[in-house]
Amino acid sequence: MQEIKIDKIFIDPAAADYKLTKNIVKNAKGIEIITATPEKVLDSFRNYDSIDSSKLNLMVTLDHGRQLKRCPGTRGMICCNYFVINQGVGCPFDCSYCFLQDFYNLPVTLIYANLDDLLMEVKEHTTRNPCKFFRIGTGEMTDSLAFDNLTELTKILVPFFNEISNAMLELKTKSKNIENLLEIKHSNNVVVSWSLNPQSIIDTDELFTASLEERIISAEKIQNAGYKLAFHFDPLILIKNWKKEYLSVINILKKHINPESIQWISLGTFRYKPGMKKTMDMRFPHSILTSGEHVLSQDGKMRYFKELRLEIYKYISDQLKNWHESIFLYFCMEDSDIWEKVLKKNPRNFKDVDIMFQKSISSD
């Protein structure tokens, strides 16, 4: 894993007195810290490339909108009733397929300091619905652990979720930044998850992230500390010798991970909005991701032909089930036909998938 380089941290005066801000200032050794309003910061970066600049500069500010939201899902596909809490927007990693580069156009990565507002929102929502079980993740708009050495966010989130009986927190990452988690008393309702791909894909299309070995060794340490794990084979990418490459990933998992500690594994193939191809080709000219044949799907995204998706899903799911039959597998943004043909399940909507999750979690 290449060291993440941060040039500057901008502190919104309105966020200066928050605990998260003070953690960042305390831990930002050698990084220039500047106090400035968001308007002044954005004006100073007017002539910079937004994507590349945002990888190098942080802005600590406040979020005045709703921070707990249902995963937006995608039209015509089965969603899994996941909730997200966005403690920031932007990521220091640079994955060629990341939707943020087509969605996020600010020249700084945002970190929201008003964590108390977010936690109050989570507490109120889970308290109002005591009979519902919520899976809540922090990895939609940023990597859950990439900045944890600066923010110490996990030291706040994990104890908080320890006290909520009807919610499970997922921390999704491509990093090896687990030191704070190892210092915290684990909880059965906190899951730490890693996105996995062959090292060849990590080298070309997941820049600045931890290596495959670093991710799995980190997962092993988290497992040994008592946490539950999850993994995401998403996006699965049809590279040359893909069966051999992905089997190698699974074999490394088998070497280090006890399958009984795995809460779930998701599967999803490479997909992207048509307008994103230009950005991907410009920023990652050596990537082969957009060079294959793709078809416009019912959700408005470019995907592999269905026959190819079925082939890779069947292969990966068979290998995982051969390792441990009871591993809970699910699809991220696929249609009911894929569910039926690969997993022999036929969820009609997100409520059916949610019931599957709850049964799997309660059986552990």
Domain of 214, CATH number, reads: 3.80.30.30
Whether the predicted pLDDT of 160 surpasses 70: yes
Whether the predicted pLDDT of 361 surpasses 70: yes
Residue 43 located in a structural domain: no
In this prediction, residues 93-107 reach a mean pLDDT of 88
Specify burial of residue 349 (Cβ count, 10 A radius: 0-12, 13-18, 19+): exposed
Share of the chain above pLDDT 70, in %: 96
At residue 21, the pLDDT reads 98
Share of the chain above pLDDT 90, in %: 71
At residue 1, the pLDDT reads 58
Q: Under a CB-based contact definition with an 8 Å cutoff, are residues 89 and 63 in contact?
A: no
At residue 291, the pLDDT reads 85
Q: What is the domain extent for residue 148?
A: 63-105+114-362
At residue 202, the pLDDT reads 97
At residue 188, the pLDDT reads 80
**Mean pLDDT of the chain, nearest integer:** 91
Per-residue pLDDT reduced to its tens digit, 233-263: 999 999 999 999 999 999 999 999 999 999 9
Cβ contacts of residue 59 below 8 Å, gap of 6+? 9, 10, 12, 38, 41, 106, 108, 109, 110, 111
Residue 186 located in a structural domain: yes
In this prediction, residues 80-108 reach a mean pLDDT of 88
Please report which confidence band the pLDDT of residue 150 belongs to, taking 50, 70 and 90 as the band edges. very high
Whether the predicted pLDDT of 195 surpasses 80: yes
CA 223 vs CA 138, 216, 228, 258: distances in Å? 20, 10, 6, 8
Read off the pTM. Answer: 0.94
The crossing angle, in degrees rounded to 10, of helices 306-323 and 242-256 is: 30
Whether the predicted pLDDT of 268 surpasses 90: yes
- Structure token digits, residue 249: 């990933």
Whether the predicted pLDDT of 84 surpasses 70: yes
Residue 10 located in a structural domain: no
* Beta-sheet pairing, 206-207 with 190-195: unpaired
Whether the predicted pLDDT of 141 surpasses 70: yes
Alpha helices in the chain (DSSP H): 19-27, 38-44, 50-54, 100-103, 115-128, 148-151, 154-162, 179-183, 199-205, 212-224, 242-256, 276-283, 306-323, 336-338, 350-362
Residue 94 located in a structural domain: yes
**How many Cα atoms sit within 13 Å of 180 on the Cβ side?**
22
Residue 27 located in a structural domain: no
**297 alpha-carbon distance from chain centroid:** 23
At residue 363, the pLDDT reads 65
Please report which confidence band the pLDDT of residue 76 belongs to, taking 50, 70 and 90 as the band edges. low
Whether the predicted pLDDT of 139 surpasses 90: no
Give me the number of domains the chain comprises.
1
Q: Under a CB-based contact definition with an 8 Å cutoff, are residues 257 and 222 in contact?
A: no
Whether the predicted pLDDT of 325 surpasses 80: yes
**How many Cα atoms sit within 13 Å of 234 on the Cβ side?**
19
Residue 135 located in a structural domain: yes
Cβ contacts of residue 136 below 8 Å, gap of 6+? 68, 82, 83, 84, 85, 122, 161, 167, 168, 169, 170
Which is nearest to 283 in space by CA: 116, 55, 87? 55
